[in-house]
Amino acid sequence: MKYSYIKSRRKSILTPEFTLLLTFFSITIFMLLSTYSFLLYRDYSFIAQRKSMEMQRVVLNDSIDEMQESIRFIEVQSLLGERVYTQNSVLKESITNLFDLIPARITLSEATLLENGLILYGVTPNKDVYNFMLQAPLRSIFHKTYSSFYPTTNGWLKFVSTNYTQNEDMYISQEIEDED
């Protein structure tokens, strides 16, 4: 370094101490700002992810609702289908039993199956055959049985047998009334 009596030394504001101080604070402020920026970015990212998740949740929820409605509808379809199939099977069994019930000596000319009854038209050699071989089993099945006979020219009897089952609820209420 040169010293002079006539030329003054140039003084700078950036002394070594000040430079050191500025460097120290610059690094500190840089670190603080970096951390702040990082936190801001992460917050923004979290909020964006949450929005996306919320949308996914709404889509899933709608899909679940639709599927549950479909499940309910399929269960209703299945129940109705099974009910119809069962009714058809029961009907088949009923008709099988009906025709098995008719003895060989009695000839049917007409049979009407009702929801709660059975009407039979036919011919029988005599009342006893009808009473023992047809009416007895019919009585065991139906709650009310009515029979009427008409003589034919060859000595046989035409008959009309009307049989009804009582509704279960009606039957119970009638029994209660009878007990009273």
Partner 1 sequence: MKINISRQSIYLLVVSIFLLIFVFVFSFLVLIPEGQEYRVQRTKLKTGNSKLREYQNFHDETLEHLKKLQSENRNIITAFDTAFNLQRFEKKYRSYFSSLSISKQGVKSNEGEFKVYEVNTTSQINSPKSFYNFLEAVNKSDWIVGINFPINFIRDGELIKSSFTMKVYTQNQDTNKTKDLDISE
Binding site for partner 1 (CB under 8 A): 15, 17-18, 21, 25, 28-29, 32, 35-36, 39-40, 42-43, 46-47, 49-50, 53-54, 56-57, 60-61, 63-64, 66-71, 73-78, 80-82, 84-85, 87-89, 91-92, 95-96, 99, 108-115
Q: Which residue has the tokens 């500025």?
A: 22
CB of 154 to partner 1, least distance (A): 17
Q: Which two tokens stand for residue 163?
A: 């049989």
CB of 94 to partner 1, least distance (A): 9
* DSSP-based three-state secondary structure for 1: coil
Is the CB of 54 or the CB of 175 nearer to partner 1? 54
8 Å CB contact between 108 and 120? yes
Is the CB of 46 or the CB of 132 nearer to partner 1? 46
157-164 and 107-114 as β-strands: parallel, antiparallel, unpaired? unpaired
Query: Which among 141, 140, 138, 145 is positioned nearest to 163, based on CA atoms?
Result: 145
